[in-house]
């Protein structure tokens, strides 16, 4: 058992057989918080013994992801594939001491395997989250610990590695609870200290089904969220709240605050729901806390990725781009939303003359003459303004809103919005006037009048 003065060491040991699953990310986070809040160490180990399924690209991707999330590891990066000689030594020791034996198999392709001599007893451990767990290991029989002397199975290598790297706390997914008795038995046979265990609840979709690649596709991988332009701080924050809460109303945390506040004993036992809507909300909260410059730069860069927009002169007008940024920012919850909006051509009208059919200008049963009259009235009002650009959308609103209320909001504002954007859905016409400026607005409204 643990010595109170012992340095706490946790580990994150993914298998590089696919993109990092968000469940694994949460496991990494909880290990990281626990190590850091105790002044301990956080070790990363690559469990790459499966030569067929392990890929270097997944390993590198996973290391990039840890960096992106802001999780720094301590010490060397461990690779199981480089440690076969060490596992061999431990396997020999077990065989020599009569605690394991080579078994001739009659079934399957394997001729010889190494089996653990099960002492057939009840193993009890106190899980930091699930409390006391007892397991009668008799039913495990003499389980396999190596396919041959060069190929230990996961249970053996994990015990050897955790021991050699001094791991004191094994914090991992619930799906490993049933592996724990085997690993405890192996540890006892090797005479190594038993780590403290904490098994985290599975992450479930909103319909309480297990989050799986088969059912939920790419959205189970961290990559997916990276590509959509979520902020790493928001992902860290959100995943921390999947299965844990601070017991207060506070929901927005930085990683440093999480290190201070996280409490492994308060992690819930039952399945934890992953809610993409809540993630979007939290991401937006983190976005709002970014410096204005960062926000404008990100929006500018994404706008420039769009063909139509990048060809327009206006993209170089800093003031203009800042104004659109305000509007765009109100309509997104992650950076990738900008790509979606521009991809659908939703912002093109800010950069080029809108194209639309004349009939679209008419509100319901309204006539061309009435629409024309309202648009002319608006041009006259805008003409009275001295400056070409407005301070805010309110300038136009103050000019037009009362008139629109008296003459019918639809009758007045619908053709105005259409004239300015060519779209049935767009920011309100006052915002459009503010962004486009006086002369551009007047020119677009005049064009609409010509069409009518």
Provide the annotated binding site for ATP.
213
Range in contact with ligand GLU (rule: CB under 6 A) among 11-19, 98-106, 203-211, 219-227: 11-19
The dihedral built from the CA positions of residue 13, 223, 299 and 314, taken in this order, carries a sign that is positive
Binder of ligand GLU out of 88, 176, 278, 373 (CB under 6 A): 176
Whose tokens are 């001094």? That residue is: 166
Closer by beta carbon to ligand GLU, 36 or else 199: 199
Residue 72 CB, shortest distance to ligand GLU, in Å, is 19
Binder of ligand GLU out of 8, 9, 10, 14 (CB under 6 A): 14
Binder of ligand GLU out of 10, 47, 157, 243 (CB under 6 A): 47
Number of residues that bind ligand GLU (CB under 6 A): 7
Q: Which residues pair with 126 in a beta bridge?
A: 132
Binder of ligand GLU out of 99, 172, 194, 284 (CB under 6 A): 172
Residue 72 tokens read as 């720094």
Closer by beta carbon to ligand GLU, 221 or else 426: 221
Binder of ligand GLU out of 13, 232, 233, 427 (CB under 6 A): 13
Q: Does 16 bind ligand GLU (CB under 6 A)?
A: no
Residue 58 tokens read as 């997944």
Instruction: Measure the CA–CA gap between 295 and 324, rounded to whole angstroms.
Output: 12
* HEC letters along 356-402: CCHHHHCCCCCCHHHHHHHHHHHHHHHHCCCCCCCCCHHHHHHHHHH
Is the separation of the CB atoms in 182 and 174 below 8 Å?
no
Residue 325 CB, shortest distance to ligand GLU, in Å, is 41
Range in contact with ligand GLU (rule: CB under 6 A) among 7-15, 64-72, 205-213, 310-318: 7-15
Binder of ligand GLU out of 10, 15, 41, 137 (CB under 6 A): 15
**Residues 6 or more apart from 204 whose CB is under 8 A from it?**
210, 211, 271, 272, 273, 274
Closest CA to 357 of 430, 440, 433, 423: 423
What angle in degrees, to the nearest 10, is found between the helix axes of 276-288 and 232-240?
130
Is the separation of the CB atoms in 116 and 189 below 8 Å?
yes
Closer by beta carbon to ligand GLU, 13 or else 187: 13
| Strand 196-200 to 169-173 pairing | parallel
Distances (CA, A) of 436 to 299, 317, 332, 442: 18, 12, 21, 10
Q: Does 26 bind ligand GLU (CB under 6 A)?
A: no
Residue 193 CB, shortest distance to ligand GLU, in Å, is 16
Closer by beta carbon to ligand GLU, 196 or else 315: 196
Residue 81 CB, shortest distance to ligand GLU, in Å, is 13
Site for ligand GLU in 110-169 (CB under 6 A): 158
Residue 175 CB, shortest distance to ligand GLU, in Å, is 7
Range in contact with ligand GLU (rule: CB under 6 A) among 12-20, 210-218, 327-335, 391-399: 12-20
Closer by beta carbon to ligand GLU, 193 or else 336: 193
Rounded to the nearest angstrom, the gap between the alpha carbon of residue 400 and the centroid of all alpha carbons in its chain is 44
Residue 421 tokens read as 């954007």
The dihedral built from the CA positions of residue 402, 408, 410 and 413, taken in this order, carries a sign that is negative
Closer by beta carbon to ligand GLU, 15 or else 283: 15
Residue 53 CB, shortest distance to ligand GLU, in Å, is 12
- Binding interface with ligand GLU (CB under 6 A): 13-15, 47, 158, 172, 176
């Amino acid at each position: 058992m643990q010595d109170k003065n012992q340095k706490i060491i946790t580990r994150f040991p993914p298998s590089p057989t696919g993109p990092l699953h968000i469940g694994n990310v949460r496991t990494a986070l909880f290990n990281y918080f626990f190590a850091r809040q105790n002044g301990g160490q956080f070790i990363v180990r690559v469990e790459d013994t499966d030569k067929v399924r392990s890929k270097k690209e997944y390993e590198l991707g996973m290391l990039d992801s840890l960096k992106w999330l802001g999780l720094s590891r301590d010490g060397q990066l461990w690779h199981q594939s480089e440690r076969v000689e060490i596992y061999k030594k431990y396997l020999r020791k077990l065989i020599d001491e009569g605690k394991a034996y080579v078994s001739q198999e009659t079934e399957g392709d394997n001729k010889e395997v190494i089996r653990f001599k099960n002492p057939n007893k009840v193993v009890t451990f106190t899980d930091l989250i699930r409390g006391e767990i007892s397991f009668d290991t008799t039913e495990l029989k003499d389980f396999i610990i190596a396919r041959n002397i060069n190929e230990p199975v996961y249970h053996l290598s994990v015990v050897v590695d955790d021991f050699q790297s001094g791991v004191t706390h094994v914090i991992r997914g619930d799906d490993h609870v049933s592996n724990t008795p085997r690993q405890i038995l192996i540890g006892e046979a090797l005479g190594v200290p038993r780590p403290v265990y904490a098994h985290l609840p599975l992450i479930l979709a909103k319909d309480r089904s297990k989050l799986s690649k088969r059912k939920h596709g790419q959205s189970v991988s961290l990559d997916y969220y990276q590509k959509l332009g979520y902020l790493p701080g928001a992902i860290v924050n959100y995943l921390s709240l999947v299965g844990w809460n601070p017991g207060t109303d506070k929901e927005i945390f930085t990683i440093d605050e999480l290190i201070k506040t996280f409490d492994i004993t308060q992690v819930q036992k039952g399945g934890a729901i992953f809610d993409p809507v809540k993630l979007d909300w939290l991401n937006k909260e983190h976005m709002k806390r970014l410096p204005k410059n960062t926000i404008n730069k990100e929006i500018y860069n994404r706008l420039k990725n769009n063909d139509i927009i990048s060809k327009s002169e206006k993209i170089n007008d800093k003031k203009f781009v800042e104004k659109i940024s305000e509007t765009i920012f109100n309509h997104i919850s992650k950076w990738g939303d900008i790509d979606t909006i521009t991809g659908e051509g939703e912002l093109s009208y800010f950069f080029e003359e809108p194209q639309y059919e004349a009939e679209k200008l008419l509100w319901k049963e309204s006539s061309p003459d009435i629409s024309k009259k309202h648009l002319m009235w608006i041009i006259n009002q805008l003409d009275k303004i001295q400056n070409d650009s407005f301070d805010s959308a309110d300038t136009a609103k103050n000019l037009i809103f009362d008139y629109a209320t008296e003459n019918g909001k639809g009758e007045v504002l619908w053709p105005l919005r259409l004239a300015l954007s060519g779209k049935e859905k767009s920011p309100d016409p006052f915002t459009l006037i503010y962004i486009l400026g006086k002369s551009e607005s007047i020119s677009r409204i005049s064009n609409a009048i010509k069409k009518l």
